[in-house]
Structure 1
Amino acid sequence: MMTQKQKTTFIYAAPAVLLCIPLIGNVVSKEFDWSASDFGIAAVLLFGTAFLIDLIQRIVKNKTYKILISAAIVLLLILTWVELAVGLFGTPFAGN
Structure 2
Amino acid sequence: MITQNTRLTGILLTVAILLSIPFLAMQFTNEVNWNLFDFIVAGTLLLVTGLMCELVLRTVRKPKYRLALCGAILLALVLIWIELAVGIFGSPIAGS
Query: TM-score normalized by structure 1?
Result: 0.89
Q: Moved runs in structure 1, 4+ residues, more than 6 A?
A: none
Cα pair 1:85 1:95 within 8 Å, conserved? no
Structure 1 residue 95 displacement after superposition? 5.2
Letter in 2 for 1:7: R
Q: Which moved more, 1:11-20 or 1:84-93?
A: 11-20
Structure 1 gaps of 5+ residues are none
Q: Which residue of 1 aligns with 2:82?
A: 82
Task: Give me the identity figure in percent.
Answer: 40
Q: Once the two structures are superposed, what CA deviation does each residue of 1:18-61 show, in whole Å capped at 9, x if it has no partner? A: 11101101122122110000001101100010111111111111
Structure 2 gaps of 5+ residues are none
> Root-mean-square deviation (CA), in Å?
1.5
Residues 13-52 of structure 1: pairs in structure 2 closer than 5 A:
13-52=13-52
